[in-house]
Amino acid sequence: MAIVTLLTDSGETDHYVASIKAKILSVNPGLTLIDISNRIAPCDIAHGAFVLKSVFRDFPAGTVHLAGVDSAGAREDAFIALQLEDHFFVGVDNGLLGLISEKNHQQVVQLNSVNPIRTTFPERDIFAPAAAKLASGVAITTLGKPMPTFKKMTDRFIKANKRLIAGNVIRVDGFGNLITNIPKDAFELLSAGKSFTIQFGGEKFKRIHKNYFEADPGDCFLIFNSLGLLEIGMYKGNASELLGLKYDSPINVAFEE
């Protein structure tokens, strides 16, 4: 069964998401629609990219992902359909889709390039029909003019050597947990045979937990989460508020022989 997912900053109190879904189903009422999230912070490309990057590979190959975050974009930003890692993405070329994968794209076309329409609601009027057609088996090459590339943005990467991993908080989730860009594989490689100290916000820890409940209520936990990234939280509490840390706060791991 063909799947179309929605990732938008449209919220849940207005008609916008329902209008997008209605347009998709008017093209093909047999499609399966799944909301990834419609509560991306308004125009927050980094938030949208993190959420989409974290989950799109969990869907079957061939799934179509409609990304409607900051869809007005800048005047020069094109509307695009993209094939990447055997998934399809429809959205605006504002940098979000360039942050979800480091792999080379397979195909990309510019939507609304032939007999273009003007609209204040591109998610409904441009993205939804394109997503429905892709999910119905229409070739991406028929939806617009081919483009050689699309906008790439530089993501935050760790700095690492034998003595230190310097990372950052890349997402504060709905629980107030701090998700960092420090990957488990890099930590395990550099920590082999060494003691370590994880430093953030004036705090120092020398232990990685395996489960959240290993910490007592109100205590801090450090864990490698389901994304393979170091996560810092407060068991049954809000780590961001209590530790005073937020997006882009520095997180350092120091190693000693």
Q: Which of 62, 84, 55, 71 is nearest to 19 (CA)?
A: 71
What topology does CATH give the domain 3-146?
Rossmann fold (3.40.50)
Q: Under a CB-based contact definition with an 8 Å cutoff, are residues 176 and 234 in contact?
A: yes
Using a 10 angstrom Cβ sphere, with 0-12 exposed, 13-18 middle and 19 or more buried, the burial of residue 89 is buried
In residues, how long is the chain?
Answer: 257
For residues 140 and 81, is the Cβ–Cβ distance under 8 A? yes
pLDDT of residue 114: 84
Q: Which residues contact 237 (CB under 8 A, 6 or more apart)?
A: 176, 217, 218
Q: How far apart are CA 164 and CA 160, in angstroms?
A: 6
Domain ranges of the chain: 3-146, 159-256
Identify the CATH number of the domain defined by range 159-256: 2.40.30.90
Selection from 111, 116, 108, 70 nearest residue 87 by Cα: 108
- Per-position pLDDT tens, the chain of length 257: 799 999 999 999 999 999 999 999 999 999 999 999 999 999 999 999 999 999 999 999 999 999 999 998 667 899 999 999 999 999 999 999 999 999 999 999 999 988 889 999 999 999 999 999 999 999 999 999 999 999 988 777 899 999 999 999 999 999 999 999 999 999 999 999 899 999 998 899 999 999 888 888 889 999 999 999 999 999 989 999 999 999 999 999 999 97
Q: Please state the pTM of the whole predicted model.
A: 0.90
151, 94 contact by CB (below 8 A): yes
pLDDT at 131 (0 to 100)? 98
Ramachandran sector of residue 98 (left: φ over 0; alpha: ψ -120 to 50; beta: rest): alpha
